[in-house]
Amino acid sequence: MPRQIDLIRASKLPSNMMQFAAKGALSVPPDENIEILVYLAKHNKIFGDLAKMTLAGWDEKSSLVAAADPKTPREVLDYFISPENLRPKLLSALLENPSVADSELAKFAISASRESIAAMLQSPRVRASARILNTLRSNPYLKPEDASTIAKLLNGGRQEAPTKAVAEPVLRGGGTVTATDSEPAAEFDQAENDAEADASSEGEVPDEAISAYLAEHAPEIAAEKDKPFQPVGGIVELLGSDYFPVSENKEMTEIGASTTGAVAGSIGPAAAATAPARPVAPAGAKPGQRDNSVQKINRLDVKGRIQLAMKGNKEERSILIRDGTKVVALAVLDAPKLSDGEVEKFALQKNVLEAVLRQIPLKRRFMKNYIVVRNLVSNPRTPLDLGLGLMKHLQTQDLKNISANKEVSETVRKLALKMYKQKVDAANKK
């Protein structure tokens, strides 16, 4: 007799049974129930959110057994260890389970909470893995004493040569991030942040930094080399209809229309209908008239736009962050002159690539900024797994606001409401 999970994978269960499955109500062994819930959470658009909520409150004892068993399916273990789904009491078992890949532990280490960092540094497996330790070093919530411990482990127990002290990471505008995060514990050192911003804005961007980025992303650049600038959401949404003077709007519209007509005549109406629209700048600027930023960007190839993303001004970065070519948009986040205020706006924008929103939390500097974290969770375009994972860092009032935000997904709202009630109850018990 086939297992229920096999029937679900083959889409052979009726809708009412699928709903039971998403609630964990099928009469199957606990390990199969967990496997079913994880499969639905990851692959089923209709019942996925319900399955995630069920897993979040699943019986701890059976969850612990599954987390410790090397025979547990890889998909289940990967789900358990992901930052957005982890239950703290399962962490020790997952860290020592040989079926949990080092790559997953390294991914988890990037944004692990302080409680999780402490557990990882007690794990024999983590202490013996240079790969995981090196990733853990970049965690924005690492304490100086933890950084020292990691340095000793990586040096085989020897003390690392003295280096510049690492400031204890905190989130600006919202206090220190802790496991409970019920209230701010310390204020951000604004002077240090201002000094960082001043240092990054002085002088020109070194050519070595641009060369390194171009070399690192050479395959992507080669694949996209002829791709024109096409902003996510289009030019009008990008800049607003009042960005260009009326006469220039008309000129660009006429040029765009004539170009479209020429293309249609040369490749045929069917192909022209599916050809991507490309903003076209005027053939030549009038004497003494300076091109605007969009016209300047339109004439650049991918490499040129990458260089401008890293060396350009604030306005140019605000345009290029919306570039539909991923390698260009991500270059903006590597710009030395990029300010915290710009990133705060990027984190809230809906007309950027998903890759941009995923990249922001991987930068330690950005994750020290509470407003960036809050904006990412509030952004309906933020991937669900990322938003759920960052939510644990939010303060009570922001959780309440997000629980009432109809733009974000229902899953985010429900979890925000649940966490808000938990924090209010915890505060009332004090």
Q: What local confidence, expressed as pLDDT, does residue 106 receive?
A: 86
Whether the CB-CB separation of 71 and 31 falls below 8 Å is answered with no
Q: What local confidence, expressed as pLDDT, does residue 37 receive?
A: 94
Q: What local confidence, expressed as pLDDT, does residue 109 receive?
A: 86
Q: In 10 A of CB 198, how many CB atoms?
A: 9
Q: What local confidence, expressed as pLDDT, does residue 139 receive?
A: 75
Q: What local confidence, expressed as pLDDT, does residue 206 receive?
A: 66
Tokens 């933020």, located at residue: 382
Q: Is 5 exposed, middle or buried (0-12, 13-18, 19+ CB in 10 A)?
A: buried
Whether the CB-CB separation of 322 and 351 falls below 8 Å is answered with yes
Q: What local confidence, expressed as pLDDT, does residue 23 receive?
A: 92
Q: What local confidence, expressed as pLDDT, does residue 257 receive?
A: 40
Question: How distant is the alpha carbon of residue 258 from its chain centre?
Answer: 40
Inter-CA distances, 83 with 95, 298, 421, 422, Å: 13, 40, 21, 19
Q: What local confidence, expressed as pLDDT, does residue 142 receive?
A: 80
Q: What local confidence, expressed as pLDDT, does residue 235 receive?
A: 52
Q: What local confidence, expressed as pLDDT, does residue 202 receive?
A: 39
Q: Please, what's the b/e burial string for 117-128 (b: 16 or more CB within 10 A of its CB; e: otherwise)?
A: bebbbebeebee
Q: What local confidence, expressed as pLDDT, does residue 193 receive?
A: 41
- Block mean pLDDT (10 aa), the chain, length 430: 85 90 92 94 91 88 94 94 85 95 86 86 94 84 87 72 38 40 35 39 63 87 87 62 43 39 38 39 44 82 92 91 93 91 92 92 87 93 89 89 91 91 83
Whether the CB-CB separation of 18 and 50 falls below 8 Å is answered with no
Q: What local confidence, expressed as pLDDT, does residue 317 receive?
A: 92
- Dihedral (CA of 414, 417, 420, 422) sign: negative
Q: What local confidence, expressed as pLDDT, does residue 346 receive?
A: 94
Task: Of 49, 46, 56, give the one whose Cα is nearest residue 17.
Answer: 46
Whether the CB-CB separation of 38 and 59 falls below 8 Å is answered with no
- The SS3 call for residue 230 is coil
**Tokens coding 428:** 């009332």
Distance between CA 292 and CA 156 in Å, rounded? Answer: 56
* Verdict on whether the full-model pTM lies above 0.85: no
Q: In 10 A of CB 383, how many CB atoms?
A: 15
Q: What local confidence, expressed as pLDDT, does residue 85 receive?
A: 84
Q: What local confidence, expressed as pLDDT, does residue 128 receive?
A: 93
Distance between CA 185 and CA 175 in Å, rounded? Answer: 6
Q: Letter for the amino acid at 341?
A: G
